[in-house]
Amino acid sequence: EVQLVESGGGLVQPGRSLRLSCTASGFTFGDYGLGWVRQAPGKGLEWVGFIRSKGYGGTTEYAASVEGRFTVSRDDSQSIAYLQMNSLRTEDTAVYHCSRGRTFRGVKYWFDSWGQGTLVTVS
Amino acid sequence: AIQLTQSPSSLSASVGDRVTITCRASQGISSALAWYQQKPGRAPNLLISDASSLESGVPSRFSGSGSGTDFTLTISSLQPEDSVTYYCQQFNSFPLTFGGGTKVEIK
């Protein structure tokens, strides 16, 4: 069974940093891209960032709202993905989900499994 | 960035009704659209990918159609457990984007 478990959320002051982790099991982690999607309280889904598998270059993509502040990385040896969040703002307050990316030829990605999320509160 | 406009933002229907949710893209995305269902306090769940491909384990009352800029998610016979929120997502290009969501309620 595919499982994704996020951790590392909490209360943080504006301008500070936080690193989220996503621990995966039940599949060959290195074969998949991983995404981060957030959901502010009472709001919809917002894609944050994505990292491709090493087979597709291991490159990253970011939403404009977090570009330059957030960094996605991965450790395939431990089946963990990370979201490093710097210069946090009050508008970054949200539940952050990690999600497994299914791909068409390494170009197009959608998300076929999701973690329950971890709450980040910037205040 | 490609914008996705979902409509309606909420709807109320009776058990057994046919329900249709639409998702319109600001530019053509071929069939690169997914639909997700999200129950309160839970992670989203993938229902449909590639506009019309039903995920394994998803009830057959769910179906998707469309290509280009106009897409629909149809529930052929609404069940009480379908009373949750639905989102579309385009994956034609980065940045990936989601629609604003449609909340389905039972009358």
**Which of B50, B91, B98 lies at the smallest CB-CB distance from A46?**
B98
List, for residues A22-69, the tens digit of each pLDDT value: 999 999 999 999 999 999 999 999 999 999 999 999 999 999 999 999
pLDDT tens sequence across B47-69: 999 999 999 999 999 999 999 99
- Beta carbons of A109 and A50 less than 8 angstroms apart: yes
Average pLDDT, chain B: 97
* pLDDT value of residue A25: 98
pLDDT in tens, B92-103: 999 999 999 999
**3-class DSSP state for residue A31?**
helix
- Measured distance CA(A117)–CA(A98) in Å, rounded: 7
Question: Which value, in Å, is the radius of gyration of the alpha carbons in chain A?
Answer: 14
Q: What is the C-alpha to C-alpha distance for residues A117 and A6, in angstroms, rounded to an integer?
A: 6
Assign B25 to helix, strand or coil: strand
| Contacts A–B by Cβ distance under 8 A | 62
Which residues have a Cβ under 8 Å from the Cβ of B42 and sit 6 or more positions away? A116
- Identify the pLDDT of residue A106: 81
Q: Does A108 touch chain B (CB under 8 A)?
A: yes
| Buried residues in A52-78 as b, exposed as e (16+ CB within 10 A) | bbeebeeebbbbeebeeebbbebebee
Which residue reads 């057994």 in tokens? Answer: B16
Distance from C-alpha of A114 to C-alpha of B56, rounded to nearest angstrom: 16
Cis omega (within 30 of 0) for bond into B95: yes
The per-residue pLDDT for B5 is 98
- Yes or no, beta carbons of A116 and B32 under 8 Å apart: no
Give the one of A37, A109, A116 whose C-beta lies nearest to B91's C-beta.
A109
CB atoms B36 and A108 under 8 Å: no
Kindly indicate the confidence band of residue B30, based on its pLDDT and cuts at 50, 70 and 90.
very high
Q: Which of B44, B57, B54 is nearest to B85 (CA)?
A: B44
